[in-house]
Amino acid sequence: MVLNSIEIVYFLLSIGIILFVGRGVGELLRKFKQPIIIGEILAGIILGPTIFGSIFKDLYDLLFNYSPTINFAFNGITELSLVLLLLVLGLEIDLSLALTQGKRASLVSILGVVFPFSIGFIVAYFFPLEMGIKDYAMRLPFSLFVGTALSITALPVAAKALMDLNIFKTEIGMLIITSAMFNDLIGWIVFSIIIGMLGYSTHSLELHWLLITLAVFVGVILLIGRKIINYVIPKLEKHASYPGGILNFIFVLGLFCAAFTEFIGVHAIFGAFIIGIAIGDSVHLKEDTREIVQQFVTNIFAPIFFVSIGLRVNFIENFNFLLVAAFLLMSVTGKMLGSLLGAKLGGIGRENSIIIGLGLNAHGAMEIILGTIALQNNLIQPKVFVALVIMALFTSITSAQLMNFFLKRSKQLLNFIGLLKPENIFFTNASSKQEVIKELCLSISNQYKLNSEKLISEVMAREELISTGLEKHLAIPHAKMNIQNPIVALGVHKNGIDFDSLDGLPAKIIVLLITPLNDPELQLRLLAEISTTLGDAERIGKLVELTDASEFITTLKQFS
């Protein structure tokens, strides 16, 4: 059962060509600030039956279609690549973060799933033929699939766009990321059910048993497994060879869980994804282990899968403009409506909601992976697959640009007013500079779980260097701490306290600004913004008369 010599030649050659062309186009797109994965998918379309395969058919068949044996070998590699890719995508999900983001994130993400899902489901259910169903009897799973495909967000694409726009660390950024994680999770669970309904596995359980098994699996892995893994990793790092032992541990767990979910009738990648989340959540997993796994999988295995997508179908023959337009329209509408409503209920401004909607509308790897499996299982026609891939490419490419456009309008680049929350405004009667600083620091420390002694000493050290009391009744004591997002607290002192100001006037508004250690630029920008917004005697005069925090913020917003 071994490949013969000439098969080995074509097998190695085809993988080499895939990696080479994938990387080449990927790097080219990177110059245009696009994610490499988009280049890899384009490379597949170029190499596949769409372009190269249609012009040089014989050469294409020789390279990628030489014998069934090679195809099986190649299929084994892509299957493994896919499992490892999902394992890595799981590793990237920060479960703890998602769990602490609470109400807002869950609202946004649930609505951000429900809306596009419902639109997709309803349209596909009532117009299955127009939407490209393969077998009319599969109407229900088909409609579920269309809904799911529309509601999934590309976490890596969204994260990349947020980082490029420098808003990854803002509240909106975290909200988008957390929502995207929830989306992924919900999407996968629904998709698993679809696959179960197809009875695509020969061993597959009845649907209700499948659901129960799945719930138990997810529960056990994420609740108990996660803790066991966190306990085992340091032991392995200590007693087994490093990083070999831990690398093997990650892969073995991934493969076993993948085999398990495939066995119960859900796709293998679901198991890999869930165990990836559980492993990635461990605080003991060292950064360099993560790095080795992540770099190797995203640079060697992932391209093999993404390029192979384009090898599956002819993207020109199966291109259907109406279908692509319909998918895009449904996706954008659904995501926008969902995010707007979710954000509204969660108390987020309208323009920010649009940004969230756009961020969540980036489709990508996940959706394409679902599409591939749906195509393989004869759930959808090739034209639907093509439409999904194009939608994924289009939304991924445009999301950063669109978000940037609205960001500029809403000026929500981590600004002072955005950071100031009503609960961080204090009306104080402190008798000295030291006292007011202490008050503000203590209340902040409590709320954000900071070391209050350290914070106070950092702020005071800065004060001793040179007073932060500015002119016109304003003071901005500040410090850098080991935090992710900047924190602002504001003290209002009706009569003013001596703050050693330049103009000798007492400080009536004291803004405590704490920024992350590694971001000196951010500190400078926020300091400048605060002094521009508040460095005006008339404004300060108005603000100190107020007695309500919300009113304070509303008034402040009118100034900027």
Q: Which residues bind a copy of itself (CB under 8 A)?
A: 1-6, 8-13, 15-16, 19-20, 22-23, 27, 30, 36, 68-77, 79-80, 83, 200-203, 239-241, 243-245, 247-249, 251-252, 255-256, 258-259, 262-263, 265, 268, 291-293, 295-296, 298-300, 303, 376
The C-alpha atoms of residue 392 and residue 364 are separated, in whole angstroms, by 5
* Nearest in space to 304 (alpha carbons), one of 93, 88, 76: 76
Minimum Å distance from CB 32 to a copy of itself? 13
* CB of residue 534 to a copy of itself, shortest distance in Å: 43
* Least gap, CB of 90 to a copy of itself (angstroms): 16
Q: Please report where in the chains the tokens 């009744």 appear, as a residue.
A: 473
Kindly state the smallest distance separating residue 293's Cβ from a copy of itself, in Å.
Answer: 8
What are the backbone dihedrals phi and psi of residue 512, each rounded to the nearest 5 degrees, phi first? -95, 120
Q: Residue 487 forms beta bridges with which residues?
A: 514
The residue among 9 and 207 lying less far from a copy of itself, judged by its C-beta, is 9
Q: Note whether 496 and 543 are within 8 A (CB).
A: no
CA–CA gap between residue 280 and residue 94 (Å, rounded): 7
Q: Give the residue ranges of DSSP H helices in 127-225.
A: 139-151, 155-164, 171-198, 207-219
> Could you give the CA distance from residue 490 to residue 28 in angstroms, rounded to a whole number?
48
**Quick one: 22 or 357, whose CB is closer to a copy of itself?**
22
Closer of 67 and 485 to a copy of itself (Cβ): 67
Nearest to 192 by CA among 391, 377, 386, 382: 377
Nearer to a copy of itself by Cβ, of 220 and 417: the residue is: 220
The distance of closest approach from Cβ of residue 380 to a copy of itself in the complex, given in angstroms and rounded to an integer, is 16
Q: Tokens standing for 248? A: 């093997």
Nearer to a copy of itself, 299 or 398 (CB): 299
Going by C-beta distance under 8 Å and a sequence separation of 6 or more, which residues neighbour residue 443?
424, 426, 489
Residue (120 or 265) nearer to a copy of itself, CB: 265
The nearest distance, CB 162 to a copy of itself, in angstroms, is 18
Residues paired with 516 in a beta bridge: 481
* Closest CB to a copy of itself among residues 396, 424: 396
The smaller minimum CB distance to a copy of itself, of residues 285 and 293, is found at 293
Looking from the CA of 273 toward its CB, the CA atoms found within 13 Å total 21
Shortest Cβ 2–a copy of itself spacing (Å): 5
Residue 376 CB, shortest distance to a copy of itself, in Å, is 6
Please confirm whether the linkage preceding 506 is cis (ω < 30° from 0).
no
Q: DSSP E strands: which ranges in 229-339? A: none
Quick one: CA dihedral 67, 68, 73, 74, positive or negative?
A: positive
